[in-house]
Amino acid sequence: MALSLTVTAQLNSRREIKIPDIPGYLTLKCDLHMHTVFSDGLVWPTVRVDEAWREGLDVIAISDHIEYHPFQEDIQINFGRSYEIAKPRAEMYGLIIIQAAEITRQMPPGHFNCLFLDDVAAIDQPDFWDAIGEAQRQGAFIMWNHPGWRQEDEVPIWYDEHTRLYDQGLMHGMEVVNGRSYYSLALEWCVEKKITMIGTSDIHSPIGMDYDLSLNDQRPVTLVFATDRTEEAVKEALFDGRTAVYSDDMLIGSEEFLNPLFYHSIELVNGDQDFSSGGTFYIQVINRSEIPFHLISNGKPEGVEYPEEITLHAERTVMMPVKLSRNATNNTHGVILLYEVKNLLINKDTGLAVELVIQ
Amino acid sequence: MALSLTVTAQLNSRREIKIPDIPGYLTLKCDLHMHTVFSDGLVWPTVRVDEAWREGLDVIAISDHIEYHPFQEDIQINFGRSYEIAKPRAEMYGLIIIQAAEITRQMPPGHFNCLFLDDVAAIDQPDFWDAIGEAQRQGAFIMWNHPGWRQEDEVPIWYDEHTRLYDQGLMHGMEVVNGRSYYSLALEWCVEKKITMIGTSDIHSPIGMDYDLSLNDQRPVTLVFATDRTEEAVKEALFDGRTAVYSDDMLIGSEEFLNPLFYHSIELVNGDQDFSSGGTFYIQVINRSEIPFHLISNGKPEGVEYPEEITLHAERTVMMPVKLSRNATNNTHGVILLYEVKNLLINKDTGLAVELVIQ
Amino acid sequence: MALSLTVTAQLNSRREIKIPDIPGYLTLKCDLHMHTVFSDGLVWPTVRVDEAWREGLDVIAISDHIEYHPFQEDIQINFGRSYEIAKPRAEMYGLIIIQAAEITRQMPPGHFNCLFLDDVAAIDQPDFWDAIGEAQRQGAFIMWNHPGWRQEDEVPIWYDEHTRLYDQGLMHGMEVVNGRSYYSLALEWCVEKKITMIGTSDIHSPIGMDYDLSLNDQRPVTLVFATDRTEEAVKEALFDGRTAVYSDDMLIGSEEFLNPLFYHSIELVNGDQDFSSGGTFYIQVINRSEIPFHLISNGKPEGVEYPEEITLHAERTVMMPVKLSRNATNNTHGVILLYEVKNLLINKDTGLAVELVIQ
Amino acid sequence: MALSLTVTAQLNSRREIKIPDIPGYLTLKCDLHMHTVFSDGLVWPTVRVDEAWREGLDVIAISDHIEYHPFQEDIQINFGRSYEIAKPRAEMYGLIIIQAAEITRQMPPGHFNCLFLDDVAAIDQPDFWDAIGEAQRQGAFIMWNHPGWRQEDEVPIWYDEHTRLYDQGLMHGMEVVNGRSYYSLALEWCVEKKITMIGTSDIHSPIGMDYDLSLNDQRPVTLVFATDRTEEAVKEALFDGRTAVYSDDMLIGSEEFLNPLFYHSIELVNGDQDFSSGGTFYIQVINRSEIPFHLISNGKPEGVEYPEEITLHAERTVMMPVKLSRNATNNTHGVILLYEVKNLLINKDTGLAVELVIQ
């Protein structure tokens, strides 16, 4: 960025991703898988930083392939070079950039991102296990990328190689979402095996060619719940499994994190209404986040009628009609409306259960 | 609104107007001039409430004409009826609705809204001064509407009638903005004569036929700085001159109110940069409001170079390059960047002067 | 519309609905069901004309209820009055407006629009059959509105009353789409019983409160294939069953009409490619209509590989890869790609079968 | 583009630029100045082709700098290489790609694009005049890029070097628009000296980082009026001065081309109105192009009143009120409304004069 005397283009500005922090943690927005012309991406490394800043990201990892360099006739192979070029620009913006690389093998075992590397070149080993061993020596966070890649109907298969990695404590993370693909079976595995859930763009093109940013179409990100805005805190959170995946209007993660994200996003406004003698009331529900919450009724409290389905639109307030019989409000804790949030997934087919309490 | 079991349409939700409260006051968003089929508007009164709620308003006044009823062949004249019909719906939403009417005479004296009426019918007097007198008896807030209406090039003329009103303390407010019209001379008068500045839609059509709400095109509103979210507090604020006008990307008002609105909207992020030895730095400026601030340089501090012009885009962060010579930072109070905010008008041609302080 | 000296607001302009004419017929865009304050609608009748002109409609019918007048305390019942008020404005725009009314009874038999009336007041009869009889005497086109209304899950039930109407030749049309509701069973009935398919908005609010017009969200319309842009030609086409329903991205109608609509919307650009020796080719498919066509493969020609699914985006060109084996092109008629257009419904679960021919 | 079995992303489709052909010529949309990582651009060459196809371009020229290679530490200098990489992809899309290069010197003389080169490497000469001479030998079209670049207030200065080039017949074209910059003085020079007017993006970033394509923000293009869709026809048209520049909502060119562009874009619909006895009439004016035409009155025909200003919105129909006195229509050729189209520039401050004829 030159020291221009006129700085006006709106495009060159940062839009925050409106998802709240939760108690004890900052909610950092991270994309941990992307490419540049130093492997098979189509942009110069600094572009990845500019894109990330504009889109409200806090953390990125450029993970150029170790074994795949289609442009090597023109661009010499230079491991770690994309990180080196991008880093000063990330610093200018105050973005955290993580040194990374993608080990790129036929399935099985497939592709694996290694994050927090010191020496990318050392990962370039003919044998897959040697490469992984080197990543381990460097203390890398190792994640299985797009597990459904090139499998029938994109359904991932868990091969012996994955068992070996997992048993040796070397499958720290797994992509539940990669670009436009969502792997529900990967989500199940992450829940069962306590593998850190990851969502990434794996972007190769300029981001605007794959996502229509003006229309709120955005890349998948990993929400990392970190104690601090530092690389060290991100690393600790990843190893500790403190993540959720935000993709399209879907939020995927454990109840431990989705629960506070939901309750810190919404607010109920009851006005001065007196519910004690029953009747029809209108409750305003504010959703301050950019995620629309799609609620479906999850049980039938006696004496209370309320919408079977309701969407709490992003950054909007909706009016919810509630009909109470006289005795519905005997409960001293107020009336509780039971819902499941369909697009907040805590497992394959299970949305987060929530309670809206009217007092 | 029926007790529908499925409530999903995004259109039927409320979008807040993102302008902050200021110390000591709530910033209420008010439209104090609008019409229904009970005069020459084209919608049923409840529509005005629904529109207002969706657009993030807090307060409305339906001000049907006293003397003009083009639909009287079909709809009988019934003063106060539009208020009566709209009120229960406003209560459902928690909106404040003010009983009002528009005295509608040829220029001079022109049209005058009377707000906070008890008895609209009593305003219906053949003589203008009798009508105004009755409004005064009811304790009304009286404002001169669209002062440039039917004047050449819409430039308002101050007639003897206006002097008489003003001298008798009966011109409490004046429309500086009415719909798409902005009267700069009215702004001057308001500043000079301490008349409360008002901006209104004067909407006759369904609002969506005149404003493209999806594209952030919105009606003008009066920001009322009230101690409380009550009709009484709104009335007190209006009589006390505690308003600003928000229209398009323009905010019009006194320094007393625009100043805190600006500083409560923005935040500077310096990072951990050490400015002591000079150099080029990048400061991120966050604008949390929905108003883009258009800044132009307003003075030349020695040893500091920064953009001549910069727009702090709405709900965005922009990067501001600043070049400091070594001695520029001797100042113990940090470096001060001097700007005028062109679209925050404190008088006809005068934008608000602001200081961005880098420490 | 006053003779304003400056006419600039983009909102006050007409956007055409981009659906082509077909051989022998103009494709008129019609909304045959809407309300005003003269029954339970929320706008003055002229608003319906302005809305329709802006949205690219050619024909409207205001069909205020005969038996339902919630605003009669303020607006006296006056059958035909909304038509009378709206007509001069429609003429100014060159829109066709049809005099109409909605017979409004409990289900069964439910609600019925009568179009092309001469004397609306005469339809006001205590007995349903008398009302229908009068409509028949006036030569009205009679259609069953929202057949699933107030039925469980909105699934329509065919009652004896409907049999009687149908047998007497008095159920000329049926709403397959009403507002946001689509009745698949009604579609089946229309196909089986040769009833004219109708899609309407049944709009009560200002249209912009229910449809986000800026975002290409638009009211359902009936496409009427008429020999001329006259009321008479519209009437003839309706009685003759020459319609299709356009709602969201869905087009519903018989093969006779959907087929030419599809082929007059698209164009294939082969370039100068020589297919004779096989290989991979890229065909550009232009869709000039505003309807995106969602195609799924419908058969497997030997020696040809092409996308299983492809969307021909609205007013866009897409690139379709096609892989031909050598012998695939022996066919002298070129290569035929077989698709079903999922959103062009010729019956409940049946999309239009189409062929893309590459020569 | 792999042979994907599902092709659905709307982003990956082509939007036509809606500007009509004119009698005798195709209107080709061309961007003749852009960069890749082979000089100081930030994308791989194929990206320039994909972008161009999506945005509705017909012709591009990648014009990497001869003398500037900031990435040469990683990417070896290889003149003509970006063309070589991009060409097969352009062929797949049916786009015309022109081999080009930018001679890049300090001002004066500044930067010059050479189009239609056979041997880019040969242009790499220490001496500017040798480089230009070589371009001439190859039959290149030579254009002066961004003439206001690094001049005070971006106002271009015509130096001796430019006289020499011009006198030798080597300044065939000149950029009147480069990116967001418009050089009105360059327009004057082009008109006076019969230099071909050019508008280009000079894009370095991914195009979506500089233009918000979703919001109809698009790069400047040169409209080339060619007899055929071939490189040869484009070359002939450029040397013959058959161009116009389309940038933002502005069209710049000679009357010879802007005139037919205007009249082939609009259509007047008079309906069946009889103007003979005067009165107020409403004329619908259809604008089929994507350019909004901003008209201001240009003379006062006697006995006719019509809007002083009117915008014919892009792809819309507007209603124009016209008031005729009785004798206004004695003219057998109908009534003529005289306007100037402010955003169709035939010289610095001169809009195209047009006549709307009502018959």
Q: So what's the pLDDT on residue A323?
A: 93
* Alpha carbon of D16: minimum distance to chain C alpha carbons (Å): 7
Residue of B nearest to C43 (CA): B43
Asked if C316 and D269 come within 8 Å (Cβ–Cβ), the reply is no
Instruction: Give CA–CA dist A121/D222, Å, rounded.
Output: 47
Asked if D14 and C311 come within 8 Å (Cβ–Cβ), the reply is no
Both tokens of C219, joined, read 């009211």
For residue D239, which of D155, D56, D75, D115 has the smallest C-alpha distance?
D115
Q: How far is CA D111 from the centre of its chain?
A: 19
Q: So what's the pLDDT on residue D331?
A: 57
Mutation site, A12, A13, A287, interface B, largest B CB count within 10 A: A13
Most confident of A292-296, B213-217, D301-305: A292-296
Residues of C in contact with B78 (CB under 8 A): 74
pLDDT digits (tens, 9 = 90+) for C172-220: 999 999 999 999 999 999 999 999 999 999 999 999 999 999 888 999 9
Residues 74..133 of A with a Cβ closer than 8 Å to B: which? 92-94
For residue D258, which of D276, D238, D275, D244 has the smallest C-alpha distance?
D244
Asked if B7 and A321 come within 8 Å (Cβ–Cβ), the reply is yes
In this prediction the ipTM stands at 0.95
Mean pLDDT of D240-253: 97
DSSP string, D293-355: EEEEE----TTEE--SEEEE-TTEEEEEEEEE-GGGG-STT-EEEEEEEEEEEEETTEEEEEE
* Alpha carbon of B211: minimum distance to chain C alpha carbons (Å): 8
* Alpha carbon of A25: minimum distance to chain D alpha carbons (Å): 32
Residues of C in contact with D6 (CB under 8 A): 307-310
Contacts of A347 (CB under 8 A, 6+ apart): A187, A188, A191
Residue of B nearest to C180 (CA): B9
Q: So what's the pLDDT on residue A358?
A: 87
pLDDT digits (tens, 9 = 90+) for B39-67: 999 999 999 999 999 999 999 999 999 99
Instruction: Give CA–CA dist C113/C145, Å, rounded.
Output: 7
- Contact between D46 and A42 (Cβ < 8 Å): yes
Residues of A in contact with B305 (CB under 8 A): 3
* Alpha carbon of A71: minimum distance to chain D alpha carbons (Å): 10
Least confidently predicted of A86-100, B331-345, C302-316: B331-345
Q: So what's the pLDDT on residue D3?
A: 44
Asked if B42 and C43 come within 8 Å (Cβ–Cβ), the reply is yes
Residues of B in contact with C44 (CB under 8 A): 37, 42-43, 71
* Alpha carbon of B307: minimum distance to chain C alpha carbons (Å): 34
For A26-60, letters b (16+ CB in 10 Å) and e give bbbbbbbbbbbbbbbbbbbbbbbbbbbbbbbbbbb
Residues of A in contact with D208 (CB under 8 A): 206-209, 213
* Alpha carbon of A105: minimum distance to chain D alpha carbons (Å): 20
Asked if D43 and A206 come within 8 Å (Cβ–Cβ), the reply is yes
CA end-to-end span of chain C: 53
Mean pLDDT of A146-169: 96
Interior angle at CA D297, CA D292 and CA D300, nearest 5: 155
Both tokens of D98, joined, read 């022109």
pLDDT digits (tens, 9 = 90+) for A160-214: 999 999 999 999 999 999 999 999 999 999 999 999 999 999 999 999 999 999 8
For residue A198, which of A132, A256, A146, A261 has the smallest C-alpha distance?
A146
Instruction: Give CA–CA dist A28/A43, Å, rounded.
Output: 25
The confidence band for A275, taking pLDDT boundaries of 50, 70 and 90, is confident
* Alpha carbon of C317: minimum distance to chain D alpha carbons (Å): 5
Residues of C in contact with B81 (CB under 8 A): 74
Mutation site, D209, D217, D219, D248, interface A, largest A CB count within 10 A: D209
* Alpha carbon of A115: minimum distance to chain B alpha carbons (Å): 25
Using CA atoms, how far residue A345 sits from A172, A201, A308, A312, B202, in Å, is 21, 19, 19, 16, 47
Q: So what's the pLDDT on residue B278?
A: 86
Asked if C206 and B211 come within 8 Å (Cβ–Cβ), the reply is no
SS3 letters across chain C:
CCCCCEECCCCCCECCCCCCCECCEEEEEEECCECCCCCCCCECHHHHHHHHHHCCCCEEEECCECCCCCCCCCECCCCCHHHHHHHHHHHHHCCEEEEEEEEECCCCCCEEEEECCCCHHHHCCCCHHHHHHHHHHCCCEEEECCCCCCCHHHCCCCCHHHHHHHHCCCCCEEEEEECCEECHHHHHHHHHHCCEEEEECCECCCHHHHCCHHHCCCCCEEEEEECCCCHHHHHHHHHCCCEEEEECCEEEECHHHHHHHHHCCEEEECCCCCCCCCEEEEEEEEECCCCCEEEEECCCCCCEECCCEEEECCCEEEEEEEEECHHHHCCCCCEEEEEEEEEEEEECCEEEEEEEEEC
Residues of B in contact with C213 (CB under 8 A): 208, 214
* Alpha carbon of D2: minimum distance to chain C alpha carbons (Å): 8
Residues 278..317 of A with a Cβ closer than 8 Å to B: which? 280, 282, 284, 292, 305, 307-311, 313, 315-317
The confidence band for A1, taking pLDDT boundaries of 50, 70 and 90, is very low
Both tokens of A173, joined, read 């993370």
Return the partners of chain B (3 or more C-beta pairs < 8 Å): A, C
Which has more confidence, C55 or D272?
A: C55
Taking CB atoms and an 8 Å cut-off, how many pairs form between chains B and C?
82
Contacts of A272 (CB under 8 A, 6+ apart): none
Q: So what's the pLDDT on residue A197?
A: 98
Percentage above 90 pLDDT, chain A: 88
Mean pLDDT of A8-12: 82
Using CA atoms, how far residue C198 sits from C139, C190, C230, C232, C246, in Å, is 18, 10, 19, 18, 9
pLDDT digits (tens, 9 = 90+) for B256-270: 999 999 999 999 998
Both tokens of D89, joined, read 């992809």
pLDDT digits (tens, 9 = 90+) for C109-152: 999 999 999 999 999 999 999 999 999 999 999 999 999 999 99
* Alpha carbon of A290: minimum distance to chain B alpha carbons (Å): 12
Q: So what's the pLDDT on residue D1?
A: 30
DSSP string, B134-181: HHHHTT-EEEE--TTTTSGGG-----HHHHHHHHTT---EEEEEETTE
Tell me the pLDDT of chain A averaged across its residues. Answer: 94
Residues of B in contact with A10 (CB under 8 A): 292, 311, 313, 316
Asked if C47 and B71 come within 8 Å (Cβ–Cβ), the reply is no
Residues of B in contact with C75 (CB under 8 A): 74-75
Asked if B316 and A94 come within 8 Å (Cβ–Cβ), the reply is no
Instruction: Give CA–CA dist C351/B27, Å, rounded.
Output: 54
pLDDT digits (tens, 9 = 90+) for D35-54: 999 999 999 999 999 999 99
Residues 190..219 of C with a Cβ closer than 8 Å to B: which? 205-215
pLDDT digits (tens, 9 = 90+) for C222-242: 999 999 999 999 999 999 999
Both tokens of B28, joined, read 């209420």
Both tokens of B232, joined, read 């009484």
The confidence band for D17, taking pLDDT boundaries of 50, 70 and 90, is very high
Asked if B310 and A8 come within 8 Å (Cβ–Cβ), the reply is yes
- pLDDT of residue C5 exceeding 70, the answer is no
Tell whether D319 lies on the interface with C, counting CB pairs under 8 A: yes
Using CA atoms, how far residue B2 sits from A277, A297, C40, C181, C351, in Å, is 20, 18, 15, 17, 36
Return the partners of chain A (3 or more C-beta pairs < 8 Å): B, D
Contacts of C246 (CB under 8 A, 6+ apart): C17, C19, C29, C199, C220, C221, C222, C223, C252, C291
The confidence band for D316, taking pLDDT boundaries of 50, 70 and 90, is very high
Instruction: Indicate the residue of A38, A42, A212 with minimum beta-carbon distance to D47.
Output: A42
pLDDT digits (tens, 9 = 90+) for A174-184: 999 999 999 99
Tell me the pLDDT of chain B averaged across its residues. Answer: 94
pLDDT digits (tens, 9 = 90+) for D111-130: 999 999 999 999 999 999 99
Mutation site, C43, C53, C85, interface B, largest B CB count within 10 A: C43
The confidence band for A7, taking pLDDT boundaries of 50, 70 and 90, is low
Residues 237..256 of D with a Cβ closer than 8 Å to A: which? none
* Alpha carbon of A194: minimum distance to chain B alpha carbons (Å): 36
Q: Could you tell me whether strands C316-324 and C279-287 are parallel, antiparallel, or unpaired per DSSP bridges?
A: antiparallel
Q: Phi/psi at D48 (nearest 5 deg)?
A: -60, -35
Residues of D in contact with A75 (CB under 8 A): 74-75
Instruction: Indicate the residue of C2, C310, C317 with minimum beta-carbon distance to D7.
Output: C310
Instruction: Indicate the residue of C46, C75, C208 with minimum beta-carbon distance to B74.
Output: C75
Q: Could you tell me whether strands A304-305 and A279-287 are parallel, antiparallel, or unpaired per DSSP bridges?
A: unpaired
CB atoms under 10 Å from CB of A212, counted, come to 16
Residues of B in contact with C212 (CB under 8 A): 10-11, 214
- pLDDT of residue A14 exceeding 90, the answer is yes
Return the partners of chain C (3 or more C-beta pairs < 8 Å): B, D
DSSP string, A61-125: EE--BSS--TTTTTB---TTHHHHHHHHHHHHHT-EEEEEEEEE-STTT-EEEEES-S-SGGG--
Mean pLDDT of C23-28: 98
Spell out the per-residue pLDDT of chain B, length 359, in tens.
234 445 558 899 999 999 999 999 999 999 999 999 999 999 999 999 999 999 999 999 999 999 999 999 999 999 999 999 999 999 999 999 999 999 999 999 999 999 999 999 999 999 999 999 999 999 999 999 999 999 999 999 999 999 999 999 999 999 999 999 999 999 999 999 999 999 999 999 999 999 999 888 999 999 999 999 999 999 999 999 999 999 999 999 999 999 999 999 999 998 777 888 889 999 999 999 999 999 999 987 888 999 999 999 999 999 999 999 877 655 566 789 999 999 999 999 999 999 999 87
